[in-house]
Amino acid sequence: MAAANLPPAADAAAVPRHVVIVMDGNGRWAQRRGLPRAAGHRAGVAPVRSTVRHCVARGVQVLTIFAFSSENWSRPPQEVGLLMQLLLEALGREVDELGGQGVRMHFIGDRGALPATIVAAMERAEQRTLQNDRLQLVVAIGYGGRWDLACGARQLATEVLAGTLALADIDVERLGGALSLGQLGLPDADLFIRTGGERRLSNFLLWNLAYAELWFTDVAWPDFDEQVFDLALADYAGRQRRIGRTGDQMEAQKVC
């Protein structure tokens, strides 16, 4: 596959500041090859590594990946156990390399539902990469968009009850700031990528995807590489992000 034609790196508007990826299709990838689903999950580790490197190379500032959703707890216990084990192994193996690339790690999701060993490894990774600023890598584990909204609403309600926040002061910015990405000071998503052929958001970052450009591919996550990523980036670069404005307004803005 030939590399996609991308605009000059100097054109910052052509590169999404924040890319969000739902890494789907591991199980189906394995089944098509007559392998157990576990083989697909293991094969999905390498594309994470290459995607992080490519984000750094292309000038993406934030990468958020959906590693494990709040709904994934309903999967067979053996599969959940494997996913937790792969996560623990990856955290132990990859953090130093990520730190060397200037990557700062964050984790979002309900930590109360995770094994203590996983939480401890996540906290070590966050502390180890605290001073890095080349790429913000957000890993969503035990995360759900509705859970995030409920937590944010509960936080604001608690502040109102405590008298530290006026009800009239709750607005879009205040609620957004109470959500997982807002608490980290990170921007909303610009580009949403989902692999594996499905065309849905699956309860991921519902608030932060409000104006994201959506890009879907039939390529399963284990086969996702830099060339496929470049196709998504090139498609994004060719879109006009109006965010409620007209095309004429956008063109006039360029002239100005």
DSSP for the chain reads -PPP----TT-GGGS-SEEEEE---HHHHHHHTT--HHHHHHHTHHHHHHHHHHHHHHT--EEEEEEEEGGGGGS-HHHHHHHHHHHHHHHHHHHHHHHHTTEEEEEES-GGGS-HHHHHHHHHHHHHTTT--SEEEEEEEEE-HHHHHHHHHHHHHHHHHHTSS-GGG--HHHHHHHSHHHHTTPPPPSEEEE-TT--S-TTSSTTTTTTPEEEE-SS-GGG--HHHHHHHHHHHHTS---TTS-HHHHHHHHH-
Residue of 24, 188, 190, 230 marked catalytic: 24
Spell out the domains of the chain, with CATH numbers in brackets: 13-145+183-251 (3.40.1180.10)
Report the predicted TM-score, pTM, of the whole model to 2 decimal places: 0.89
Bridge partners of 62?
A: 18, 136
Q: How far apart are CA 95 and CA 54, in angstroms?
A: 17
Full pLDDT tens readout for the chain, 256 residues: 445 555 444 355 689 999 999 999 999 999 999 999 989 999 999 999 999 999 999 999 999 999 988 888 888 888 888 889 888 888 888 898 898 899 999 999 999 989 999 999 999 999 999 999 999 999 999 999 999 999 999 999 999 999 999 999 999 999 999 999 999 999 999 999 999 999 999 999 999 999 999 999 999 999 999 999 999 999 999 998 766 655 555 556 555 5
Pairing of strands 103-108, 62-69: unpaired
Return the closest-CA partner of residue 241 out of 199, 190, 179.
190
β-partners of residue 107 are 139
CA atoms of 54 and 132, how far apart (whole Å): 17
What's the distance, CA 209 to chain centroid?
11
Q: For residue 123, what are its two tokens?
A: 């906290």
- Residue 24 annotated to the active site: yes
Catalytic pick from 5, 72, 133, 225?
A: 72
